[in-house]
A = this chain, B = another copy of it.
Amino acid sequence: MSVKLAFQDWIYEAQESICEALENIDGKARFTKDPWKRRAGGGGLSRVLASGDVIEKGGVNVSVVEGPLPDVIREKFGVQGTWFNASGLSLVIHPVSPMIPAVHANYRYFELYNREGGGVVDSWFGGGADLTPYYVFDEDIRHFHQVHKEVCDTVNHNLYFRLKESCDRYFYNEHRGEARGVGGIFFDYLRVQSDKSMYDWLHFVEKCGNAFLSAYLPLIKRRRHEPWGEKERHFQEVRRGRYVEFNLIHDRGTLFGLKTGGRTESILMSLPPVVRWDYDFKVESGSREEKLLKLLKLPKKWL
């Protein structure tokens, strides 16, 4: 089977098992199923859960789109080809509790062609997973990184450190001088190379996605009964504002989706449910809130 078709099979399976596990742990809300078609070719299946016991808003989306590559994207991304096929699984979880980190993961595969139906002129995988806590529990963050390191270690022992650094670099709110969260792994342009076929990368990406639940679910289990009140909720809502800023100002994926005529509601399902912008919000010195802000100023070695 071609890499493209094998990957497409996998993203639909992974979507199914991730949604099922999240529903089980939430215990209350269910994922909707919203299939959609795109006029210029392709479509997807958006699955969204709202107002759960644990998950305030979560989306696990598959999309497989194909069409002419817009000029603006070709220039911005510095790639060749005039026709593209992009398949991906994208998920974002915004928990109710400020004690449980928000999480984002994405696994995607691109093929470029010189014309519709033409041979592949370029192809690559991209993806990763990263954590956005509002209150810092070092062991949670370390666990999330550790699970991803184990997957990276199956390729080579440097890979985690490279992808962790890419993640810190990518999820950065330049205009705020701070990271969006505490990272994880991020990769892009994983292309064929002397010692790696696209099938090798396919297996790596699948392993990453299959590890997602074991990286994240333990954090929900540990923190779901952690107490919090109005103050912590307020802080979470303010910090969610930074999440929105990153996604709308800096995120290449969001830009790519919106510019290539992706389904707006599926792309923007990543935005948190309730968000607050207080002018010049300040935290108390020595507080738990300050601990987070300090952490976001400089990437930390978790492992």
* CB-defined contacts of A249 to chain B, threshold 8 Å: 248-249, 258
Query: 5 closest pairs, A vs B, by CB?
Result: A248-B248, A271-B277, A48-B279, A175-B258, A275-B275
Q: Are A272 and B277 in contact (CB-based, < 8 A)?
A: yes
Most B CB contacts (10 A, CB to CB) among A50, A57, A268 go to: A268
Tell whether A3 is near chain B: CB-to-CB under 8 Å.
no
Known contacts A249-B248, A258-B249; is-contact A50 B278 (Cβ 8 Å): yes
Interface residues of A (CB under 8 A from B): 34, 48, 50, 57, 59, 175-176, 237, 241, 244-245, 248-249, 258, 264-265, 268-269, 271-280
Question: Is B279 within 8 A of A59, CB to CB?
Answer: yes
What is the CA–CA distance of A57 and B241 in the complex, to the nearest angstrom?
15
Q: Which of A237, A249, A273, A279 has the most CB of B within 10 A?
A: A279
Cα distance A279–B31 when bound, in Å? 12
Residues of B close to A57: CB separation below 8 A: 277, 279
Q: Is the CB of A280 within 8 A of B34?
A: yes
Name the residue on B nearest A274 (C-beta). Answer: B276
Are A268 and B277 closer than 8 Å at their CB atoms? yes
Q: What is the count of identical protomers in the complex?
A: 2
Of B175, B237, B276, which one neighbours A264 at CB under 8 angstroms? B175
A248-B244 contact, Cβ under 8 Å, with A176-B264, A271-B277, A276-B274:
yes
A271 touches B241 (CB 8 A): yes
Residues of B within 8 A of A175 (CB): 258, 264
Contact between chains at B265 and A280 (CB < 8 Å): yes
The one of B264, B269, B276 in contact with A273, judged by C-beta atoms closer than 8 angstroms, is B276
Taking the closest CB of chain B, its distance from the CB of A243, in whole angstroms, is 11
Closest-CB distance, A274 to chain B (whole angstroms): 5
Most buried by B among A57, A245, A265, A278: A278
Q: Is the CB of A48 within 8 A of B280?
A: yes
Report the Cα distance A265→B249, complex, angstroms: 15
Q: Which of B176, B248, B265 contacts A279 (CB 8 A)?
A: B265
**Chain B residues near A264 (CB, 8 Å)?**
175-176
Give chain B nearest CB distance to A269 CB in angstroms. Answer: 5
Query: Which partner residue on chain B sits nearest A176 by CB separation?
Result: B264
**Can you list 30 A-B pairs, Cβ within 8 angstroms, ordered by A?**
A34-B280, A48-B279, A48-B280, A50-B278, A50-B279, A57-B277, A59-B279, A175-B258, A176-B264, A237-B274, A241-B271, A244-B244, A244-B248, A244-B275, A245-B248, A245-B268, A248-B248, A248-B249, A249-B249, A265-B279, A265-B280, A268-B277, A269-B279, A271-B277, A273-B276, A274-B274, A274-B276, A275-B275, A275-B276, A275-B277
The residue in A176, A237, A277 that gathers the most chain B C-beta atoms within 10 A of its C-beta is A277
